[in-house]
């Protein structure tokens, strides 16, 4: 059930394609400071759920709300509040790593954008590639650039779809600390993950997606990943 002051609410939300749902109904709320992990076997519908929550596709039924308002990706208020990182390497081919981050920072009115970009480049180990264009980056470096762009801008809701992909163990642990810090600053986070360690490090609650959708504690969610 929705909690008081929830950043994100899903009410009997049904997601899928055409008229065909991919999983059971989702009812959950995520409040400031909370991290909701979303887990399930491959093909269970995890990414479809979070893409619907992010406004990337329409629900089949039910409601998705951010700060009590329907998810509307074209609305200015929604775009100011919600940051999302999916497994989509979409970049401007002629802009460097630094220029991409500056574009995001300035577009979202980040204070001291040059300083903020320098901090992200350092955190994600991209200082040495700051003046490179995306096509010259490795797969892991492109992933880190996507994450840097997601974290550099203000957001009260951060949605991350398997952010651990193509990251080494050291960076995965750093990412876990960053997610906790983002939530600790008052944001809500939705995290799709296949990494039980990242889940346990970060999650305050866990949604197991399948034919039936169940809200469980993080340790049960980690066990579900390990057993899948």
**Of 159, 153, 141, 213, residue with least CA distance to 47:** 159
**Residue 1: band (very low, low, confident or very high) from pLDDT cuts 50, 70, 90:** very low
Q: Please state whether the predicted TM-score (pTM) of the whole model is above 0.85.
A: yes
- What is the arrangement of strands in the sheet containing 205-208, beginning at the earlier edge strand? 82-85, 157-161, 188-192, 35-39, 205-208, 214-216
CB < 8 Å & 24+ apart, contacts of 222-225 = 222/196, 222/197, 223/196, 224/39, 224/40, 225/39, 225/193, 225/194, 225/195, 225/196, 225/199
- The rounded distance, in Å, linking the Cα atoms of 162 and 146 is 12
The pLDDT tens digits for 144-160 are: 999 999 999 999 999 99
Q: For residue 195, give every residue at least 6 positions away whose Cβ sits within 8 Å of its Cβ, in sequence order, or none.
A: 164, 172, 225
Map out the domains of the chain as residue ranges.
8-90+156-227
**Residue 2: band (very low, low, confident or very high) from pLDDT cuts 50, 70, 90:** very low
Q: 8-90+156-227 — its CATH code?
A: 3.40.50.300
pLDDT in the model for residue 228:
64
Please state the rounded mean pLDDT for residues 134-148.
95
């Amino acid at each position: 059930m929705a909690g008081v002051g929830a950043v994100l609410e899903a009410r009997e939300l049904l997601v899928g394609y055409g008229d065909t749902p991919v999983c059971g109904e989702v009812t959950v709320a995520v409040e400031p400071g909370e991290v909701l992990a979303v887990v399930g076997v491959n093909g269970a519908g995890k990414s479809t759920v979070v893409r619907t929550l992010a406004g990337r596709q329409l629900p089949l039924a039910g409601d998705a709300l951010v700060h009590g308002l329907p998810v509307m990706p074209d609305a200015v208020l929604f775009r100011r509040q919600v940051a999302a990182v999916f497994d989509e390497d979409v970049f401007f081919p002629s802009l460097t790593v630094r220029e991409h981050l500056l574009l995001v920072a300035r577009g979202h009115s980040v204070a001291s954008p040059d300083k903020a970009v320098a901090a992200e480049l350092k955190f994600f180990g991209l200082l040495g590639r700051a003046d490179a264009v995306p096509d010259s980056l490795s797969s892991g470096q492109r992933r880190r650039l996507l994450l840097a762009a997601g974290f550099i801008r203000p957001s009260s809701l951060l949605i991350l779809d398997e952010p651990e992909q193509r990251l080494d163990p050291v960076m995965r642990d750093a990412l876990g600390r960053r997610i906790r810090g983002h939530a600790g600053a008052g944001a809500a986070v939705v995290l799709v993950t296949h990494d039980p360690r990242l889940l346990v490090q970060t999650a305050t609650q866990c949604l197991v997606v399948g034919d039936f959708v169940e809200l469980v504690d993080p340790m049960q969610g980690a066990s579900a990943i390990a057993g899948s």
